Chains A and B, each alone.
Chain A
């Protein structure tokens, strides 16, 4: 005999809000929402009140006032007469520059170290373990400061460096930075750049065509050499055809200092160096974990099918381990970008140094500066995570 489980009395009681699973989730959510909203309202209310009490308003007009300070390292035209917004832009580009450079070098060093760490060679693998443990367990800020101090003390002053150049007339290493030949662009350089970009697009088209041809006919083209040819030949032809618009600007030794060329300041070098060395240890661990996660059966199965070790690596192991390696790798790149904000400790003018540093101190607009600063970093982070999510979706194991 079965009885109905529906209670006869359907009238709503207040206690059901908490005791009945149907209503409890609404109760909890509404309480959470009310609490969160009231905290936010309280914070905003306090901020408005406090700003009023101090006689400060909230507007971003200060961004157009002249900044009044110089920046050592910049990618776009900037002078102290430019607006604060321009200083912030220079800072943003500097942040992206050092983050990009550090990501590239950290990846290269890290992959090498990660592979060597897995090597059967006991000495090499121990040595890499010492490097990884030593670097990972020491604060990054300490490493940045230490490298900066080392660079300042080890390299000679510009005056002495002129007498002992790394390459006479081209490369000078000084304690203020490295002087290397810079590029100069005359009229017509756009043609060369456009041709170069078009060649890169052409390479992709060619590779696709070559692959289709191989699948259809079985014939293999020397893709590498042809790609290299497509990359170089048209660009060189365009370079000479348009009258050699891109030249080199060599540093020249003056009486007290070096002039011309491209100056890569010591703060940038120290920051780049420290970020690369530090992050490479993390990259190495990611690579190691990725390779180790592929079960040995995969390699053995590939050998059983008659694939050579190199093909096994590139066709079987690597595609699978990349699925494991790429997500932590991208979040590591994100960490590098965020860690580049430590630039402020060595005086490299990144976004934190300009917008969150000198601009903030000069204008006294803490609220606006910090909001902009955080929003910019948030935007960078969110776009990198969007790329990561997109990638994750595309390589995810398809459940069948």
Chain B
């Protein structure tokens, strides 16, 4: 065959052509992700329409047209027809933060709040130098905070009826969170132990608490607890609520941790036994570190649930942020301003809960070692 039969012979590799326009870059991404099928296109357009029709209105209402300086709702409305009247928050923010705590003593809860973060540092930051000593110091925090908030021993005492707002939420939430984890671990270990009596006691406690709504437990704390205590013994109402909330959260915590314990391969238990470790040694060194790691999302969800559930105390008459809405609305000047109040409180809770859930995701990623 002669070589002249071919019109053209390539002697080198051709350079690659760029991909067709519209399959790469921003346009390609949009096509692939937003308009890949008719249904997808409809969904995209609907979502964009939903965002377009709500977001500008909300931004306008909350920021552009809002009023910060006014003495009553009528003054607000006179200044702007459809803007938020944040003046009520400006006037009463100290109530939403501290309840009816005496204003000259605000430094005490603020100091307690700052100390809380200092106490949390050793617990959350595992690379901290001298972590052991610092953790010991953190253990003393509850007593210091109690002393700062309620007074006594040289500080002017403040009664529980004065507590309210975010301060009350933090007191109930933080003490519930910090006590429910250890109690939950003990309950979970009891429930998965092979001692029948200990196991059934734990089952009864957990199933009873999980079977009733928190609000009935709060009713018990409110109206019934006095009957069960010896004569003359009387707990403070905030303390009673904290006890009940702690019980409630620890039952849920126990179930979450039990899930983690059950998810561990049996070989881990057997390996610990083979090493000759005692029960507590094997739990502390081998089982619990792994089980707790698996249950982190559940544990943090329980924390978030507990933090949100603190609002229920308004039903037994305590003045948490939500409980302060009614007295505010009862004020002649602010009658009818519910949207701003609810939005503000929702925002407050959102920040705390969202931060907690983000931290748990970070922790999950950090502790993820590729195997269970």
Contact = CB atoms under 8 A, between A and B. Distances in A.
Interface residues of A, number: 55
A142 B342 contact: yes
B228 A46 contact: yes
Contacts of B211: 377-378, 381-382
Interface in B70-103: none
B227 A46 contact: yes
Interface string A125-166: 001000001101111111001100110010000000000000
Contacts of A381: 210-212
Contacts of B315: 342, 344-345
A49 B194 CA distance: 38
A123 B44 contact: yes
Contacts of B310: 139
A49 B349 CA distance: 43
Of A120, A121, A136, A366, most B-chain CB atoms within 10 Å: A121
B296 to A, nearest CB: 15
A28 B195 CA distance: 9
Contacts of A145: 322, 325, 342
A367 B227 contact: yes
B304 A137 contact: yes
A120 B44 CA distance: 11
Nearest to B321: A142
A139 B34 contact: no
A370 interface: yes
A55 B353 CA distance: 47
Contacts of B263: none
Q: Is the interface of A mostly helix, strand, loop or mixed?
A: helix
A139 B228 contact: no
Of A53, A116, A378, most B-chain CB atoms within 10 Å: A378
B60 interface: no
Given A338-B212, A344-B315, A122 B231 contact: no
Given A139-B311, A140-B308, A377-B216, A50 B350 contact: no
Of B34, B210, B336, most A-chain CB atoms within 10 Å: B210
Interface stretch (A29-37, A73-81, A177-185, A316-324): A29-37
B33 A120 contact: yes
A341 B215 CA distance: 7
Of B40, B43, B210, B215, most A-chain CB atoms within 10 Å: B215
B227 A146 contact: no
B139 interface: no
A326 interface: no
Interface string B344-364: 011001100110010000000
B219 to A, nearest CB: 6
A193 interface: no
A397 to B, nearest CB: 14
A299 interface: no
Interface string A42-56: 010011011101000
Given A138-B350, A145-B325, A50 B219 contact: no
A121 B211 CA distance: 40
Contact of B40 (A30, A33, A121, A139): A121
B248 to A, nearest CB: 11
B346 A53 contact: no
A374 interface: yes
Of B211, B308, B322, B353, most A-chain CB atoms within 10 Å: B211
A140 B310 CA distance: 11
A370 B198 contact: no
Contacts of B322: 139, 141-142, 145
B198 A32 contact: yes
A137 B353 contact: yes
Interface in B15-61: 32-34, 36, 40, 43-44, 47-48, 50-51
Given A121-B44, A374-B216, A53 B223 contact: no
A146 B350 contact: no
B349 A133 contact: no
A142 B43 contact: no
B143 to A, nearest CB: 25
B40 to A, nearest CB: 5
B342 A29 contact: no
A28 B336 CA distance: 60
A122 B195 CA distance: 52
Interface string A336-349: 00110110110000
Contacts of A385: 207
A370 B195 contact: no
B338 interface: yes
Interface in B194-209: 194-198, 201, 207-208
A373 interface: yes
Q: Which 10 pairs show the lowest CB-CB distances between chains A and B?
A: A137-B353, A381-B211, A139-B308, A341-B213, A29-B197, A378-B211, A338-B213, A146-B342, A139-B311, A149-B338
Given A121-B36, A366-B224, 13 more contacts: A50-B227, A119-B43, A127-B47, A127-B51, A137-B354, A139-B322, A141-B311, A142-B346, A146-B338, A352-B216, A370-B216, A374-B212, A378-B211
Interface of A: 25, 28-30, 32-33, 36, 43, 46-47, 49-51, 53, 116, 119-124, 127, 133-134, 136-142, 145-146, 149-150, 153, 338-339, 341-342, 344-345, 352, 356, 360, 366-367, 370, 373-374, 377-378, 381-382, 385
Interface of B: 32-34, 36, 40, 43-44, 47-48, 50-51, 194-198, 201, 207-208, 210-216, 219-220, 223-224, 226-231, 304, 308-312, 314-315, 322, 325, 336, 338-339, 342, 345-346, 349-350, 353-354, 357
18 contacts: A25-B194, A28-B198, A29-B198, A30-B197, A46-B230, A120-B36, A121-B34, A121-B40, A137-B350, A139-B311, A141-B311, A146-B342, A150-B339, A338-B212, A344-B215, A366-B223, A370-B216, A378-B208
